[in-house]
Chain A
Amino acid sequence: MSNVTYSIIFYLFAAITVFSAAFVVFSRNVIYSAFSLLFTFFGVAALYVYLSADFIAVTQIIVYVGGILVLLLFGVMFTNKIMMTKLRTDVINMVPGLAILAAVVGGLLTIFYTRADWVTSATQLQGSVVESIGIETMSRYVLPFEMASILLLLALIGAAFLARFDKAHNKER
């Protein structure tokens, strides 16, 4: 693939990511936000492929799109009376929010483009990263890996405990 084609496809995915993320936060309809988040996650996954982290990209699609987005949609459905009320989110602190958005984005970009002098290595990551992830997970990162599994188990039990339908409690009320 030539360099120009590579860049054009990169800008396409970057535009998808940024514009759908903007739609997520500027849309007043919660359902529109949730479905726009889908495109953001896919765009970010494509950027991960550009960063030669193919395994992370697939994980992103499986975990975020298949898990977290579905959870969020369930949350939207559970916490709104679909037939009765509009699925809208009200807005608070609009002016401070816009000011902070402009300040953060402007400030960080100014620093990145004028001041920052990142040290980059001559040997970048190339090709697939799957094999290295397997080796690293089973050698240097085996303790965090096991801790992550325990954390996921705890989160699963905790979430099920928190969200269960409390029969005894309802009876005594």
Chain B
Amino acid sequence: MDVLTTIGLNHYLTISVLLFGFGLFAIITRKNAIVVLMGVELILNAANINLLAFSKFNGAMEGVMFSLFVIVLAAAEAAVALAIVINIYKTFNTVDVSRIDSLKE
């Protein structure tokens, strides 16, 4: 009962593992490039939860700062990735990643 009522490090790590697993699953199984990007975002969120959890239970600021930079990188990544996806759609008329098989037109 004590394990359930006292929120410890393992609770956060469990949530983060689940989010990471779902993100990996989306990247492996989905054909739509946008859903693959959503999987990447889930993985980044899982990493952020880990960083913040370790930071809190360590009493240090490193994880908090690092998670801030992770969010910055995620924003940049999403913008560039969506630009690439839109270009792929213009070229191939589909965002099905299993049918995109050439690097130039």
Contact = CB atoms under 8 A, between A and B. Distances in A.
Given A101-B22, A121-B58, A92 B86 contact: no
A90 interface: yes
B65 A133 contact: yes
Interface string B30-72: 1111110111011001001100111111111100110111011
Nearest to B9: A118
Contacts, number: 244
B79 interface: yes
A75 to B, nearest CB: 5
B64 A132 contact: yes
Contacts of B28: 93, 96-97, 100
Q: Which of A7, A56, A148, A154 has the most CB of B within 10 A?
A: A56
A159 B9 CA distance: 38
Given A68-B41, A141-B65, A47 B87 contact: no
11 contacts: A24-B35, A93-B29, A96-B28, A104-B21, A105-B21, A112-B10, A118-B54, A121-B58, A133-B64, A137-B65, A152-B72
| Cβ-closest 5 pairs across A and B | A89-B32, A155-B76, A97-B29, A162-B83, A163-B83
Interface of A: 3-4, 6-7, 10, 14, 17-18, 21-22, 24-25, 30, 33-34, 37, 40-41, 44, 47-48, 50-53, 55-56, 59-60, 63-64, 67-68, 71-72, 74-76, 78-79, 88-94, 96-98, 100-101, 104-105, 108-109, 112-113, 118-125, 129, 132-133, 136-137, 140-141, 144, 148, 151-152, 154-156, 158-163
